[in-house]
Amino acid sequence: MYKRKLYFFATSFAGALIVTLIATAIAAQITRQNLEQTTMAQSLLGEHLTLSSVSYRLFKQLTDELIFGRNANQADVRNKETQIEASLARLRTLELQLSAFRLQGTAAPEAGVLALEGFPTTWGLKLTG
């Protein structure tokens, strides 16, 4: 009689332990995916802030040139345009990775796959000349 109760208790405890381990594994997987998505979103936000800052400085420099008649340093203008285009390229890549992550629920695709998505390579940001 005691042996049967002991086996029943051990079986019940093992079953509860297995259910707990499975629930822990599922929670860990969901947490890992949420952290990956959060990291991608944080990178995207940082890139948007960089783009905003560089764009504002370029706008301010060109506006000062128009208002005060001072010539803008063309090397700085070209440098800022290059920074803007590089930032836009990184933003496109991050947006595609984030959308692929949301659609698939898996890791983001490789950068080579992202180039095939048909996004324009330039956004026409030639502000001078």
**Average pLDDT by consecutive 10-residue portion of the chain (129 residues)?**
90 96 96 90 90 88 77 75 89 86 62 41 42
DSSP notation for the chain: -HHHHHHHHHHHHHHHHHHHHHHHHHHHHHHHHHHHHHHHHHHHHHHHHHHHHHHHHHHHHHHHHHHH-PPP-HHHHHHHHHHHHHHHHHHHHHHHHHHHHHHHSSPPPPHHHHGGG---S--------
How do residues 14-46 score in pLDDT, each as one tens digit? 999 999 999 999 999 999 989 988 998 898 899
pLDDT score recorded for residue 119: 41
pLDDT score recorded for residue 76: 76
